[in-house]
Amino acid sequence: MAPNEIVAEIRQIPFEPFRMHVVDGTSYDVVHPDQCIVLLTSVVVGLERVSEDEGFQRTVKIDCRLISRIEPIDRPPTPSRKGEPPTLTA
């Protein structure tokens, strides 16, 4: 996958969480734009965040050529008003 395709996902406004699938079968969820750094030929993804105030406990570096696809992560239902069923956002 081209690095600019990954950058486009990260810069999307509003940001939409996504899952990166790698050719070896692993996948990585990116739930915040600061969790992913795109370099010229690779992507660094932060993993195992303890809290919002702390950095990531570990990272993984993935060659962009090994990323097979990106797909959106399903969002949980948004809170509804009293008495209304929850709504799902696309």
Which CATH number belongs to the domain containing residue 26 in this structure? 2.30.30
Residue 60 lies in a domain: yes
Q: Quick one: pLDDT band at residue 54, thresholds 50, 70, 90?
A: confident
Residue 86 lies in a domain: no
Q: Average of pLDDT values for 72-81?
A: 62
Q: Average of pLDDT values for 37-54?
A: 86
Residue 29 lies in a domain: yes
Residue 85 lies in a domain: no
Write down the pLDDT at residue 90: 44
Residue 11 lies in a domain: yes
* Inter-residue contact 75 to 89 (CB < 8 Å): yes
Residue 67 lies in a domain: yes
Range of the domain at 27: 3-72
| Overall number of domains in the chain | 1
Residue 43 lies in a domain: yes
Write down the pLDDT at residue 64: 96
Q: Is the pLDDT of residue 43 over 60?
A: yes
Residue 63 lies in a domain: yes
- Name the residue with tokens 């809170």: 79
9, 28, 31, 53, 54 from 75: Cα distances, Å = 16, 16, 10, 23, 24
Residue 77 is given by DSSP the state P
The answer for residues whose C-beta is within 8 angstroms of residue 90's C-beta and 6 or more apart is: none
Nearest Cα to Cα of residue 67 among 39, 31, 47, 33 = 39
Give the count of beta carbons closer than 10 Å to the beta carbon of residue 50: 9
